[in-house]
Each structure stands twice: as structure tokens, then as C-alpha cells.
Amino acid sequence: MTRTSTPQQIAILLLDQFSVISFSCTVEPLREANWVLKKKVYDWRMYSKDGKPVLASNGLSVNVHGSIEDLDSCPMVIVCSSFDPHLYATRRVISWLKKLARQGTILGSVETGSWVLAKAGLLNGYRATIHWENRASIAEVYPEVILTDNIFEIDRDRFSASGATPAMDMMLHFIGKQHGVAAASAVAEQFIYNRIRASQAPQRLSTTQKYGLRHPKLRRLTEMLDSQLERRIDVQELARISGLSARQVHRLFKAHLGVSPQTYHRQLRLRRARDMLRQTELTVLEIAMASGFTSSSDFARVYRRTFHQSPHQDRAAVYALDSL
């Protein structure tokens, strides 16, 4: 955003199952900035793929100002989506975004909107972020995107926020750049938002924070396992890294986490696989290999034992819900 004498024009594309809280955290700072500055510095309109109201993930139906066909140009467009962006990034939507990009429109996204921009090829070579649940999936499907774990990213004429409060932080950042830190702080205070985070803030608690781990060697091992979900890691490798014996490593995990190191890592890999299964159209074999399993049959057996249904049944159930 750059300072202008006229209101900044912003279009927001709402896709089915978008998150109301993420949408609110995008729009409300703009509304509040107008109030704080005592003048209309931002003007926004909402659009849908067909001009009809959009059903949010919580069941709320939101009216829009028009169809994407009604908007030929706009200085800035923000894609707001949440669940199953791969299902709602239709050819019509993709074609529209590409047209705007050719015109020099600044394109942004909230939560899983990055998936839509990535599918359009509009994030190739750009830094971007996305909600942590979708990170593994987008990394596998769109490797040309430079993904980070930051809460928001701004790279040239592209920007992205990974969720609701990150959208708030990002919009406050824009307001501060355009109208001064005092204005951004005043907007934050109106929302009782007493800490404006920088983009580099992490999305999630680390394992050590989540479980309150204080043992330095266990912290190092869990951080390693958390970051390497594409392959199996045996206890002997963990022992070499930590300088402990295999038995000591096993006891350390059991004492502090209640499971063996193999079980801990397998649970992480399976959760990653389940996200990819539900969020992408990759084959079961591709997902199995990306999650450290040696074959689709091995993956399916462990998956069924853990989630009480096969990978194919899980994926079919998700698509059935989406069609309701």
C-alpha cells in the first residue's frame, strides 16, 4: 500500500468456506483506520465468483457487492479462503486473477488464499506463507513458491497472511507504513490488541513450548524430528546425534512424552499425510512417499490402524462433505 490522496481501493474475493474471523481481521482494521484518521483512507468491496452470497465455514452467509466479472481492474485484491482452497480455485477464478496480475494489480491472500494464487502461478519465485495445516501440501504441489513459516509475508507486489490474527498484524503493518505508527497503534488499541507482531513471528508453538520440555537433548531431538517428516529416522540415528545410547533415547521419550521416538515421529508423519490427503489431489503413493513410507500398502496399513479408515475412505468422506 502507498499513501494516496484518495481512498485506497481494495477488492476482497471471498471463496466458499472462507473463515469469518480471518475476513474480519482483514477488513476491520481498515474500517477502524478510517475512524481513527477521521477520513476515508480505505474503501473496500467484496466479490464472489458468481455475485451470489458466500457461505463461510461457520455457516454464515455473507452478501457481496458483485461477481468477479463485474471487476475489470483494481489496485489491490485480497483472496480470502480457508477450507479446501483446491476445490474452489476454479478456472474462472484463476483466469480472473491472472488477468489482474497482467494489469499490475497487487495481489494478497489470507489463510489459504496463497494456495489459490499459487495454483494460478502468481507466487512462483515469491516468498509467501499459508496456514500451518496447509504448508506441507502446498510445498509438495507448488515447489516454485518460496514458503516461510512466518505469520505474514510481503514480497514486492504479493503479500500473504497465514491466519486470522496474522491478518490483523499484516493490516496494521500496512496502516503503519502508509499513515504512521501512531495511527496503527491507535487502531490496535481500539481492538484491545496490545502487541503488533512482526512478520517473522512463528505461527505455532514449538514442541518444547507445547510440552514444556526442558531437557536440552530431548528438545534438540524433537526439533529434528519435527523438521524431517519426509523420511523415517531410527533410534540409532537419534542416539548418534544426541550422544546417548539408543536405550537412553527411548527412555527419554517415554519419560517426557509418553511414547517411543518411533511412535512420536510416526504420529507427526501421519498427521502430515492426512493433511495432504485431504488438501491435495496427489495420489496415495505420492503422499506415502512424501511422508516417509516405503509403499502405499505400508502407508495404508498404518493409516487404517491409526485413523480407523483407509486413505481412500478418508479422502472420499471429505469430498462428500464438500458436496453437501
Q: Say if 162 falls within a structural domain.
A: yes
Domain total in the chain: 2
Q: Shortest CA distance to 162 belongs to which of 210, 204, 192? A: 204
- Tens digits of residue pLDDT in 100-124: 999 999 999 999 999 999 999 999 9
Q: Are residues 175 and 231 in the same domain?
A: no
pLDDT for residue 20: 96
Q: Quick one: 27 and 165 in the same domain?
A: yes
Among 137, 163, 190, where does a domain finish?
Answer: 190
Q: What is the tens place of the pLDDT at every residue in 265-303?
A: 999 899 889 888 888 888 999 999 989 998 989 999 999
**Alpha-carbon distance 231 to 250, whole Å?**
19
Same domain, 43 and 122: yes
Q: Is residue 200 part of a domain?
A: no
Which pLDDT score is estimated for 204?
65
Q: Is residue 161 part of a domain?
A: yes
The enclosing domain of 236 has a CATH number of 1.10.10.60
Q: Are residues 228 and 174 in the same domain?
A: no
Residues 186 and 69 in one domain: yes
Express each pLDDT in 204-235 by its tens digit: 665 666 666 678 888 888 888 888 888 888 89
Cell numbers 494478497 label which residue? 108
Contact indicator for 266, 205 with CB cutoff of 8 Å: no
Residue 154 lies in a domain: yes
Cα angle 156, 162, 165; round to 5:
110
116 and 258 part of one domain = no
Question: Does 48 reside within a domain?
Answer: yes
Do 25 and 124 share a structural domain? yes
Q: pLDDT value at position 209?
A: 60
Return d(Cα 100, Cα 103) in angstroms, integer: 5
- Longest Cα separation, the chain: 69
Place of cell 495432504: 276
CB atoms within 10 A of CB 98: 13
Range of the domain at 140: 8-190
Q: What pLDDT does 4 receive?
A: 57
Q: Do 157 and 251 belong together in one domain?
A: no
- Residues 165, 246, single domain; the answer is no
Give me the pLDDT at residue 324, please: 45
Please, which residues bridge with residue 155 across strands? Answer: 158
pLDDT at 110: 97
Last residue of a domain, one of 190, 223, 241: 190
Given this model, what pLDDT does residue 211 score? 60
> What CATH code is carried by the domain that includes residue 56?
3.40.50.880
Whether 201 is in a domain gets the answer: no
212 and 147 fall within a common domain: no
Question: How far is it, in rounded angstroms, from Cα 187 to Cα 172?
Answer: 8
- Consecutive 10-residue averages of pLDDT for the chain (324 residues): 76 96 97 96 97 95 96 96 90 96 97 96 97 90 94 96 95 95 95 87 66 76 86 90 91 89 91 86 89 90 92 79 49
